[in-house]
Amino acid sequence: MNETSPLGAYPTTRLRRLRRSAWLRRLVRASRLCQDDLLWPVFVQEESGGPVSSMPGVERLSIDQLVKESHRAAQLGIPALALFPVVDDQHKSPHADEALNPDNLACRAIRAIKKEVPEIGIIGDVALDPYTTHGQDGLLAADGSVANDPTVAVLCNQAAILAQAGCDIVAPSDMMDGRIGAIRRALDAAGHSQTAILAYAAKYASAYYGPFRDAVGSSKALGQNDKKTYQMDPNRSPQEAWREVALDIAEGADMVMIKPGLPYLDVLCHIAQQASVPVLAYQVSGEYAALQAAAAQGWLDFRPAQMEALSAFKRAGATAIFTYSALETAVWLSE
Ligand code: PBG
């Protein structure tokens, strides 16, 4: 029957019929959030205990603390965590040399988690911004621009070092052209053919990354500079995002990421309908901080607002979601 035909119209058709009771609403849901959907981004630093002031409820953890929390995350059913190192200033340099140190903070954290909590997956960030004095994700050319191909060469080594430390999935978040294919070849050549690549395929130059940059200390390094020559312009069409995704898949990406989350739900939906690989979404630091700030004022209730946001990612087609509330949300889901 045509839904606009007279027979399908009110009063015979009453859409409220399926909203009458809790069990009925549960019955007819098309998507449901569960623990398997939650991936946990975490900040690791050398010292213990460092709250991130712009992200209430988020702490920078020492390796010991991280191992404990990883154990909890695994018990709560979270499949994997995504590791972001907070690198001491003394280890930052213009060429990000520390990124290639096999004993750097990220590698030590990976080895510790693999040893103590082998049942949780580890996603390692591939990008140079935690390690550069200038805060850019890549190396600078003489004119101050971010140099694509020299950066890709370093990213390949960074990815191989993370894989060597035991990282299960490497996640290039840098947005250089051609890096997925180059990293795949480098991993294979180094004997890491089973290490998967999660490409931050469509990553926009967003104002919502502010609290993350505070957390890893790259905002003061970046100063007035931005990342608009490599991260995507928010006003391009979703077709450009599709082109980024299609290229990354062709180059060997096993999964792709759309980022940020809620402000780019149209892009996520567009990609999820076409992509042949799992499509992940990232509820970024600014989205999390905005909800927390409103909740702290008493203007929103964090739990239902956050559940609604995360459910929206599922409805739009996300296979899984990076969220700073992964642990808390997993607890809610188990209640
Ligand atoms: C940088 C990186 C960023 C985030 C993840 N990796 C920030 C940036 O691009 O400046 C942001 C994540 C967040 O805001 O939660 N490689």
**Buried b or exposed e, range 253-283, using 16+ CB within 10 angstroms:** bbbbbbbbbbebbebbbbbbeebebebbbbb
Q: Is the CB of 212 under 6 A from ligand 1?
A: yes
- Binned at pLDDT 50, 70 and 90, residue 3 comes out as low
Rounded percentage of the chain residues whose pLDDT exceeds 70: 98
Give the chain's length.
335
114/215 Cα distance (integer angstroms) = 24
Query: 225 pLDDT exceeds 70?
Result: yes
What average pLDDT is seen over the chain?
96
User: From the CB of 209, is ligand 1 less than 6 Å away?
Assistant: yes
Among 83, 158, 209, residue to substitute to test ligand 1 (most atoms within 8 Å of Cβ):
209
pLDDT in tens, 110-139: 999 999 999 999 999 999 999 999 999 999
Whether 68 has a pLDDT exceeding 80, the answer reads yes
- In angstroms, the Cα distances linking 141 to 91, 145, 149 are 21, 5, 10
* Catalytic residue, candidates 92, 227, 228, 259: 259
Residue range 197-216, pLDDT digits in tens: 999 999 999 999 999 999 99
Can you give the pLDDT at residue 245?
Answer: 98
Active site residue 220: no
Is 228 part of the annotated catalytic residue set?
A: no
Is the pLDDT score of 8 beyond 90? no
Q: Which amino acid is at 60?
A: R
Q: What is the DSSP letter of 235?
A: T
Q: Rounded CA gap, 129 and 139, in Å?
A: 9
Contacts of residue 44, Cβ cutoff 8 Å, sequence gap at least 6: 60, 61, 62, 63, 66, 83, 84, 85, 86, 105, 106, 109
Taking only the tens place, the pLDDT of each residue in 289-329 is 999 999 999 999 999 999 999 999 999 999 999 999 999 99
Nearest CA to ligand 1 atom 11: 209
Kindly name the residue from 203, 220, 228, 314 that is annotated as catalytic. Answer: 203
Report the distance separating Cα 70 and Cα 168, nearest Å. Answer: 15
pLDDT of residue 1: 47
173 lines ligand 1 (CB under 6 A): yes
> Of all protein residues, whose CA lies closest to atom 6 belonging to ligand 1?
173
Positive or negative torsion for Cα 326, 331, 333, 334: positive
Rounded to whole angstroms, the Cα distance separating 164 from 102 reads 8
Residue 129 near ligand 1, beta carbon < 6 Å:
yes
